[in-house]
Amino acid sequence: MSPSSERYARQVRFSPFGMEGQKRLAQGFAVVVGMGALGCVIANHLVRAGIGRIRLIDRDIVSWSNLHRQLLYTEADAESGVPKAEAAAAQLRTFNRQVAIEAAAVDLNSGNAESLLADADLIVDGTDHFGVRYLINDVAVKFGIPWIYGGAVGASGMTMTIVPGETPCYRCLFPSPPPPGSTDTCETAGVLPPIVDLIGSLQAMEAIKLLGGYKEQLHGALLHADLWKTDFSKMKTAGARRADCPCCGIRRFDYLEAVVRGKSEAVLCGRETVQIAPAEPLQLHLDEMAERLKSAGRVERNPWLLRLTLEDGITLVLFPDGRVLVQGTGDPDLARRIYDRILAP
| Alpha-helix runs per DSSP H in the chain | 3-7, 9-13, 18-26, 37-49, 75-80, 84-93, 113-117, 130-143, 170-173, 186-189, 193-212, 286-293, 332-343
Of 15-23, 194-202, 248-256, 271-279: span binding Zn ion (CB under 5 A): 248-256
Q: For Zn ion, which residue of 172, 205, 225, 286 counts as binding (CB under 5 A)?
A: 172
Which amino acid is it at 266? A
139 binds Zn ion per the rule CB under 5 A: no
Q: In terms of CB distance, is 88 or 140 closer to Zn ion?
A: 140
Q: In terms of CB distance, is 99 or 123 closer to Zn ion?
A: 123
Q: For Zn ion, which residue of 55, 171, 209, 307 counts as binding (CB under 5 A)?
A: 171
Q: For Zn ion, which residue of 43, 153, 248, 318 counts as binding (CB under 5 A)?
A: 248
Of 115-123, 164-172, 180-188, 309-317: span binding Zn ion (CB under 5 A): 164-172
Of 91-99, 166-174, 268-276, 287-295: span binding Zn ion (CB under 5 A): 166-174
Compute how many other C-beta atoms are within 10 angstroms of the C-beta atom of residue 106. 19
245 binds Zn ion per the rule CB under 5 A: yes
> To the nearest whole angstrom, how small is the minimum distance from the Cβ of residue 137 to Zn ion?
8
169 binds Zn ion per the rule CB under 5 A: yes
Q: In terms of CB distance, is 101 or 117 closer to Zn ion?
A: 117
Q: What residues does 163 pair with on adjacent strands?
A: none
35 binds Zn ion per the rule CB under 5 A: no
Determine the size of the site formed for Zn ion (CB under 5 A). 6
User: By the 8 A CB rule, do 66 and 92 touch?
Assistant: no
Q: In terms of CB distance, is 164 or 270 closer to Zn ion?
A: 164
Helices (runs of H) and strands (runs of E) counted in the chain: 13, 14
Whether the CA torsion 244, 247, 250, 252 is positive or negative: it is positive
Quickly list DSSP for 100-126: EEEEE-S---TTTHHHHHTT-SEEEE-
DSSP at 216: G
> To the nearest whole angstrom, how small is the minimum distance from the Cβ of residue 179 to Zn ion?
21
Distance linking the first and last C-alpha atoms of the chain: 63
**Contacting positions for Zn ion (CB under 5 A):** 169, 171-172, 245, 247-248
